[in-house]
Amino acid sequence: MEQSFYKPTIFHSFKTIIAAESNRNGGVSEVPFQSLNLSLNVSDAEQHVIENRNRFFGKLNIEIHELATSKQVHGDKILYAMEPGAYDGFDALVTDRKNVFVAVSIADCTPILLYDTENEIVAAVHAGWRGTVEGIVFKTLEVMQSHFGTQAAACFAYIGTCIDECSFEVDTDVAGHFPDDFKRFDAERNKFFVDLKNANKDQLLEFGLPESNIEISPFSTVLHNENYFSHRKEKGQTGRMMAVIGMRGG
């Protein structure tokens, strides 16, 4: 995988939408952040992160000053981002503003990108296991609905690359929060395994999105660690990818 990003096909027909998910390739960061680390919060050299961000967002024709991001806290708080900036304490960002690009940082947690085609609303969601349990994807859609009148049939979604079901091994304290449909018990290992992608997909379906309006990344941060950062596999010493979406307009 030489290219440093993937553009979800679910958004390809919408000409004003720019949406992408980065991977770990094509940057300048050194071990253990090699190479396209986009986070300023992992002890990587600041000049490396700035160069990496310029490379990634430059290829998307997004200016750094057009970004709206947040320091994520693994919660369920949602920000209506009326302007670009670096915020704090939110795990989902929603905007109806042209040329404001909302982005989340990931390295095992699930990124979800949303687009309401009727009302022209976009959202970027960071869903770790806590956010998934707290229903952050469903809550984001509810915010979009209450503020802008979003209807499920007009929404499209991309569930991005995260830790896969066969790698997300947890104990009872975490597994107990998930319905049986999204976990399995491995008696040999005496552990549960949780499926974050399908748990978040279920929230999209519960809100009413047609299954045909949902794209799911086939990749895993753990199984495809040569191309993606994994906090778990790399024992916390690694970089971060970003998933970003926004509308280009005059």
User: 1: pLDDT confidence band, cut at 50, 70 and 90?
Assistant: very low
Tell me whether residue 53 is in a domain: yes
Position 181 in a domain: no
Q: What is the pLDDT of residue 130?
A: 97
The reply to whether 183 falls in a domain is: no
User: What CATH number is given to the structural domain containing 60?
Assistant: 3.60.140.10
* Residues 225-244: tens digit of each pLDDT: 999 999 999 999 999 999 99
Residue range(s) defining the domain that contains residue 232: 5-166+197-247
- Considering its fold, how many domains does the chain have in total? 1
Is the residue at 184 inside a domain? no
Beta bridge partner(s), residue 236: none
- Neighbouring CB atoms inside 10 A of 145's CB total 18
Inform me whether the pLDDT recorded for 250 exceeds 90. Answer: no
Categorize the per-residue pLDDT at 2 as very low, low, confident or very high, splitting at 50, 70 and 90. low
Q: Pairing relation of β-strands 92-95 and 121-127?
A: antiparallel
Q: Which residues contact 26 (CB under 8 A, 6 or more apart)?
A: 2, 3, 4, 35, 36, 55, 56
22 belongs to a structural domain: yes
Q: Is residue 191 assigned to a domain?
A: no
The answer, as to whether pTM is greater than 0.95, is: yes
The pLDDT assigned to 36 comes to 98
